[in-house]
Chain A
Amino acid sequence: MKSAKNVNFLQVNNEIRRLLAGEGVIMLPSSQAYRKLKWTRDHFETKPEEGYFIWVKKQISHPLTTCIAISSPKISQNPRNLIVIEKDVKTEVHSICNTMKKNLYGSHIGHTKVILKEQSTLQMRHFHKWEKGDTVSSSLQFHLEEGAKLSHVYKCSAVPEKLKTELNSFLDSSSSANIETAVLAKKGNINIYDSTFLNGEGSSATMRVRMVADQDSKITSHSKMTANNAGIGHLDCMGLLLSENSSISTVPELINRNKNATLTHEASIGRISQDVLNYLRSRGLTEDEAIDLIVTGFLREAAFYYKGHVLPSKIYM
């Protein structure tokens, strides 16, 4: 986990330990935002008791980092988060949810809604790391107003026994979204639901899903792209099976309701080729080291390249 002193919002178990917003940013516990800012009530499904509200009103030069962690046994978290990016503002958010020890048997049911106002830009990276006994369900909603731009990466490198992620994006005219999901599952049952709705003319979206299943894991990915207006959308789902007793299912769905829209998808699920393994072994790597390198690269391909730069993922994991 990233050092707590660099974190803008830190919730451990059910307690907020740190809340620090810089200039141009309003940051409150969601419960306070619900109480003080009436307009936020339209965006919370229920009255929130946990989680954060971030309102980015002016351009900021540094990324905002949030962390919601479980550190005690049998904690049940139910954060309701709301992020609002004002018109023309560009910002970057790093969001981390994790458990800090083994055998805590925690429950994390997170809901986050993000509103990108006209011409705003958000780069958001969302990292999860769990232990086997945890139960996790994560739901994200993105609302992109006219001309807004979103780049969202979700990565889970350590899954609980059961994980459900749900991501819904709604795009107004001329807005664009690049949404990437990368999951490495070992002894896990994972369900991924990603949906994007191209509601405005000239909107465009790419959804990429990268899944690696190992050690008796089951991953199912439901990816849906709907064009309600003249937009362009692409789905790209790839899976890598590392063990005989694992499975990956991918269910891509394209729904086009506009004759001027174009939707495409590609999907593949396979195993690591023996030629590639032997090639890397000839460079002195053991088979396990070769697999690690390939898997890291496979997930990184989706999750960690941004403008040609590799993000320093290790500081978050």
Chain B
Amino acid sequence: MIKIENLSVKIHEQNILKGVNLEIREGEIHALLGPNASGKSTLAYAIMGFPEYEVTSGKIWFEGKDITNLPIEERAKLGIALAFQNPPSIKGVTLSALLKTISKQTFNVKDLPVSFSEILEREINVGYSGGERKFSELLQIINLKPSFVIFDEFDAGLDIINLEKLTSVIQDKLICNDVSILLVTHRGNILNFLEPDIAHVMLDGKIVCVSNDWRKIWKTIVRYGYEKCKKCEFPSSKQ
């Protein structure tokens, strides 16, 4: 599905990612854990192709195609989607107008187990609560019918009840349709609802730990903090 080879990225002349390797297969859920400013979101934006994230070395492959130099919209059309942590406000443009423009599939919002449908006729992200922002992001992504989705800190700003409801929508509309997922998180709350197949830990622009037992990694992080990951003690971990 997506393969990242030895990726280094800089922003405004500052090297952020330093040789990242990551492979996600069809239908897999991966978690990318790490403290603030470790480079997790940079990886998300670099995969999406944001121009200020300059790839200095390495490649990004998607379904066998080198997309390292593709513009954002081409990557979106191939099936890559990103749920933003802090999406921008767009005055004058309603969520329903955007959905109408981008939708590759239709479904009835009222069928979803969340009650934010009134935001459809409001301007995008103008005065939205934390929950409404996440719902808006999820709604757009489902409408795009993607094959690979990055959720950047999706659990930030969400109470536990709404997190449970929205993750059930992710499960039903994306995971059940074999969509591959990358969960970028430093809190880890979302992992309790969407159990990842593989967890990665990123520190200072490098993936320092990979394991198919996310609970073991998370337990260590909760107990000792991310500092402990600098001296990874799990023999099954690699990279």
Contact = CB atoms under 8 A, between A and B. Distances in A.
Q: Which 3 A-B residue pairings sit nearest by Cβ, starting from the closest?
A: A297-B92, A297-B93, A301-B92
A284 B79 CA distance: 9
Contacts of B232: none
A296 B123 CA distance: 13
B93 A294 contact: yes
B102 A276 contact: no
B24 interface: no
A312 interface: no
B93 A285 contact: no
A103 interface: no
B91 interface: yes
B4 interface: no
Contact of B72 (A281, A294, A300, A301): A281
A228 to B, nearest CB: 33
9 contacts: A275-B88, A278-B72, A282-B48, A282-B50, A282-B84, A283-B144, A284-B144, A297-B91, A308-B121
B140 interface: yes
Contacts of B123: 297, 301
B87 interface: yes
Given A281-B71, A283-B76, 5 more contacts: A279-B87, A281-B72, A284-B144, A297-B92, A297-B123
Interface of B: 48, 50-51, 71-73, 76-77, 81-82, 84, 87-88, 90-94, 97-98, 101-102, 121, 123, 140, 144
A255 interface: no
Given A293-B93, A293-B101, A308-B121, A286 B73 contact: yes
B84 A279 contact: yes
B167 to A, nearest CB: 22
Contact of A298 (B77, B81, B91): B91
Interface string A277-312: 011111111110100011011111100000010000
A284 B103 CA distance: 10
Contact of B140 (A283, A294, A308): A283
Contact of B90 (A281, A282, A289, A297): A297
Among A285, A289, A298, the most chain B Cβ lie within 10 Å of the Cβ of: A285
A281 B94 CA distance: 16
Contacts of A275: 88
B91 A301 contact: yes
A273 interface: yes
A286 to B, nearest CB: 5
User: Is the interface on chain A under 10, 10 to 19, 20 to 34, or 35 or more residues?
Assistant: 20 to 34
A294 B88 contact: no
B90 A294 contact: yes
B98 to A, nearest CB: 7
Given A293-B98, A308-B121, A285 B73 contact: yes
A285 B74 CA distance: 9
Given A284-B144, A285-B73, A279 B92 contact: no
Interface string A139-177: 000000000000000000000000000000000000000
Contacts of B101: 285, 289, 293
A311 to B, nearest CB: 14
B125 to A, nearest CB: 9
B50 A278 contact: yes
Contacts of B144: 283-284
A40 to B, nearest CB: 40
Contacts of B97: 293, 296-297
A47 B101 CA distance: 50
Nearest to A286: B73
Interface in A239-278: 273, 275-276, 278
Contacts of B92: 294, 296-301
Nearest to A295: B92
B73 A281 contact: yes
Interface string A196-218: 00000000000000000000000
Nearest to B99: A283
Among A287, A293, A294, A308, the most chain B Cβ lie within 10 Å of the Cβ of: A293
A245 to B, nearest CB: 23
A279 B48 CA distance: 10
Among B48, B84, B93, B97, the most chain A Cβ lie within 10 Å of the Cβ of: B93
B82 A282 contact: yes
Nearest to A272: B90
Nearest to B72: A281
A197 to B, nearest CB: 29
Contacts of B51: 278
Contacts of B102: 283-285
Nearest to B94: A297
B62 to A, nearest CB: 14
A241 to B, nearest CB: 15
B76 A276 contact: no
Among A276, A284, A298, the most chain B Cβ lie within 10 Å of the Cβ of: A284
B90 A283 contact: no
Nearest to B143: A283
